[in-house]
Structure 1
Amino acid sequence: MIAERGCQPSVGFGETAPLTILVQVNGEERRIREGQTIADLIRVMDLDPEQVAVELDRRIVKRAHWPGTNVSAGSQLEIVQFVGGG
């Protein structure tokens, strides 16, 4: 997989839109804002942090580390949701 950085055009005088990067989430390409953490991504995806587990580049990341773990261009994430039932 080739990592890709996107350039965004100016949005106003002296302002620029945030850069985006390309990552894989559960095997699908997804463009996210550069500098996002795992916690940011979980929030943007509207997932309940108490109900998911995250693997970043084949390593499980503990929930306590999500806010300080940046997602880089080309990263591969697996996000597994827990489902109750019976």
Structure 2
Amino acid sequence: MSQEKVDRNKAAKASRKKDMQKEKTKLATIRVCAVALCAAIIGWGGYSIYQRQASNKTAETIEVDASALADYQNSLVQAE
């Protein structure tokens, strides 16, 4: 039993570098995917908020009563 344990440890030590590299690659991939997912969720949320705000804005029409200005101009023309 002791020899089996020694053989297992030797095999684990021999492949340790590959296993560590695989684990690092796996963790890096998970991090990149998590960041991409968060960016997509934040972007989608921001776009949704922007669309909601844009749809809530109504085209405001401003009406100006220029009758007082027209009366003033007419009074100037008549005074001459």
- TM class, shorter-length: under 0.3
The alignment's TM-score, normalised by the length of structure 1, stands at 0.21
Q: Which has the higher helix share?
A: 2
Query: Greater Rg, structure 1 or structure 2?
Result: 2
More strand as a share of residues? 1
Q: TM-score, normalised by structure 2?
A: 0.22
Tell which has more relative contact order, 1 or 2 (C-alpha 8 A, sep 6+): 1
